[in-house]
Amino acid sequence: MTSTVRVRFAPSPTGFLHIGGLRTALYNYLFARSHKDGKFILRIEDTDLKRTVEGADQDILDSLTWCGFKIDESPYHSGEYGPYRQSERKDLYKKYADQLIESGHAYYAFDTEEELTEMRERLEKSGNPSPKYDSITRQSMKNSLTLPKDEVEKKLSEGTPYVVRLKVPRRETVRIEDKIRGIVSFETKGLDDQVLLKSDGMPTYHLANVVDDHLMEISHVIRGEEWLSSTPKHILLYQYFGWEPPIMAHLPLIMSPSGGKLSKRKAEEEGIPINTKEYIKQHYEPEALVNFLAYLGWSPGDDSEIHSLDELCRIFSLDRVSKGGAVFNHKKLMWYNEHYMREKPDRELAERVKEIAFSNGVSGIDDDYLQQVIPLMKERVSKVDEFATLGRFFFEDPQEYDEKTLKKWKDDSPELVKAYREKIEDWDEEDFKADKLKAALQEVIDEKGVGFGKLMMPLRIATTGLSFGPDLFPAMELLGKETVLRRLDRAVEKL
Ligand code: GLU
């Protein structure tokens, strides 16, 4: 094994890249980059063709690229260890399955689906809640350990369908030293004789994963805790092949705020986007998601919270990854998002807002005008799309007012708004300034002897269509006299 760090992110393209997968990719990436000459490899584990989803593989690449990861080797980046898509390595795995049969660590099994079902039902009836094909049951099944040698050969030459199974020893303890969890031991007693090669000649995840990690000289396997239970099988495989296993590190689960693993269903219930693609579509800042995910199971050991991807690459270490589940705090993510969004130049934000507004059906926005909108809204929004939604009034007259807003429009609102309009209607355009507009409000409320909110709220509703938003007077100044007067009139008339 080489002494350089080589890690891989090895997703199965059975769906779009979810947030847990992205965190695994991130930790692998950070680990690779925290070592001199460390390599980050993307390997597509598509051996289960039935479950492969079209477009998933491109989605994975797009998501990693969006986060700013630079991939050293992958199906799309050249490398010496390819191909990097397991379906393109199919022919290679059989040789290794054969090698295990030869050495007595694997065997052919010819059982049909019906025979397997029958075995399971029989065992269930006799009180075994989780029947397995294991060191006991294999003795009464149709395989190369129970059938006479000539019959096995006959079946093979006739092309009878078969699978290759791992011969898991009856009683053995398999130990690993996990970088995060410490020593973990497993009893082989609870394991089944894992299928390594399926009847269509495709390897299962276990065989392909171990063979490829070895051939690609992977130094560290960093993956989610859900794979820990597969690890003893992998360790047996390394042992039987006579290979040194990579160093293992199993990352803590990502938990839902209401408890339990953050499943797709739970995420939906809590309004948490689950796929990276949704974060992209919903205009999150990639730097925010990266920074947030880095802290979901790791911390640098001080109270710093803001780190760019480059900084994270420098300070990340597996020693500081926690064992316990990490709770997904969406508010914290929004906090990161606000931070990174506010750091971006107004010009860049303006360009993005323009595109978003356009896709929301608002076109013809003047660039100079938009540049002035950005600073007014920047401290008020959490995501860039909110410039276009909460700030839609900057680009068009409010079309309708929602019920909650209407409740804040009171009986005396029309009269107060009219009085305000009269105060400002004869002003010259150059007098139409925030401080003067504010002073006019003060004058009206003094004259009418009412509280500040009595006029402020209806003015806001009339001008913006909303009961909350950025500072009203600078917004009015930017909108200009003509627009403001028109909106005040419309509100009085409509509401
Ligand atoms: N293909 C597995 C997955 O979908 C890889 C697990 C591993 O990293 O070994 O996550």
pLDDT in tens, 422-453: 999 999 999 999 999 999 999 999 999 999 99
Does the CB atom of residue 213 touch ligand 1 within 6 A? no
Q: How far apart are CA 285 and CA 412, in angstroms?
A: 44
Q: Is the CB of 209 under 6 A from ligand 1?
A: yes
Instruction: Please give the CATH topology (third level) of the domain spanning 345-392.
Output: Helicase, Ruva Protein; domain 3 (1.10.8)
Q: Is the pLDDT of residue 1 over 50?
A: no
Q: Is the pLDDT of residue 298 over 50?
A: yes
What are the beta bridge partners of residue 116? none
pLDDT at 2: 52
Name the 3-class secondary structure at 122.
Answer: helix
Tell me the Ramachandran region of residue 380: left when phi exceeds 0, alpha when psi lies from -120 to 50, beta otherwise.
Answer: alpha
- Amino acid making up residue 167: K
Please give the distance, rounded to the nearest whole angstrom, from the Cα atom of residue 315 to the centre of ligand 1: 25
Spatial contact of 318 and 31, defined as CB atoms under 8 Å apart: yes
From 27, 219, 227, the mutation candidate for ligand 1 (largest count of ligand atoms within 8 A of CB) is 227
Sign of the Cα torsion 226, 257, 377, 464 reads: positive
Ligand 1: does its nearest atom lie under 6 Å from the Cβ of 203? Answer: no
Among all residues, which ones are annotated catalytic?
A: 264
* CA 81 – CA 343 distance, rounded (Å): 40
**Ligand 1 atom showing the smallest separation from residue 24 Cα:** 8
* CB within 8 Å of 14: residues ≥ 6 apart: 48, 51, 52, 53, 56
The full set of domain ranges for the chain reads 6-74+206-254, 91-197, 264-341, 345-392, 403-494
What's the 128 CA to ligand 1 centre distance in angstroms? 30
CA of 12 to the centre of ligand 1 (A): 6
What are the beta bridge partners of residue 185?
175
* Chain mean pLDDT for the chain: 96
> What does the pLDDT read at residue 400?
85
Q: How many CB atoms lie within 10 A of CB 451?
A: 9
CATH of domain 264-341: 1.10.1160.10
Cβ-count burial 127-165 (b if 16+ within 10 Å, e if not): eeeebbbbbebbeebbbbbebeeeebeebeeeeeebbbb
Per-residue pLDDT, 478: 97
Dihedral sign for Cα 178, 180, 186, 190, please. Answer: negative
Q: Which CATH number fits domain 6-74+206-254: 3.90.1150.10, 1.10.287.470, 3.40.50.620, 3.40.50.2000?
A: 3.40.50.620
Mutate to test the pocket of ligand 1, among 16, 209, 247 (most ligand atoms within 8 A of CB): 209
Give the position, in ligand 1's atom list, of the atom nearest the Cα of 230.
9
Ligand 1: distance of its center to the CA of 392 in Å? 44
Give the tokens for residue 143. 């395989």
Q: Is 337 exposed, middle or buried (0-12, 13-18, 19+ CB in 10 A)?
A: buried
Which of 29, 45, 253 for mutating ligand 1's site (highest number of atoms within 8 Å of CB)?
Answer: 45
Give the separation between CA 320 and CA 330, rounded to whole angstroms: 22
Nearest ligand 1 atom to the CA of 222 is 8
How many Å is the Cα radius of gyration of the chain? 32
Lowest mean pLDDT among 84-98, 175-189, 356-370: 356-370
pLDDT in tens, 29-50: 999 999 999 999 999 999 998 9
- Give 339's pLDDT tier (boundaries 50, 70, 90): very high
Domain spanning 91-197, CATH architecture: Alpha-Beta Complex (3.90)
Question: What CATH topology corresponds to 403-494?
Answer: Arc Repressor Mutant, subunit A (1.10.10)
Residue with the bigger pLDDT between 437 and 361: it is: 437
Alpha-carbon distance values, 198 to 113, 203, 204, 346, 466 (Å):
13, 6, 7, 56, 61
Compute the average pLDDT of residues 166-171: 96
pLDDT above 70 for 70: yes
Mean pLDDT to the nearest integer, 217-241: 97
Contact 455, 417 (CB under 8 A): yes
Please give the average per-residue pLDDT across 157-163, as a whole number: 97
93 neighbors 82 (Cβ within 8 angstroms)? no
Question: H/E element holding 290?
Answer: helix 286-294
Q: Does the pLDDT of residue 365 top 50, yes or no?
A: yes
Q: What's the token pair of residue 391? A: 């700030």
* Largest Cα span, the chain: 108
Residue 94 is which amino acid? K
Residue 225 identity: E
Say how many residues make up the chain: 495
Yes or no: say if 152 and 108 are a contact pair by the CB < 8 Å rule: yes
The answer to whether 418 touches 412, Cβ cutoff 8 Å, is no
Position in ligand 1 atom list of the atom nearest CA 9: 8
Using the mean position of ligand 1's atoms as its centre, give its distance from the Cα of residue 314 in Å: 26
403-494 matches 91-197 in CATH topology: no
107 DSSP assignment: E
Q: How much is the average pLDDT of 152-167?
A: 98
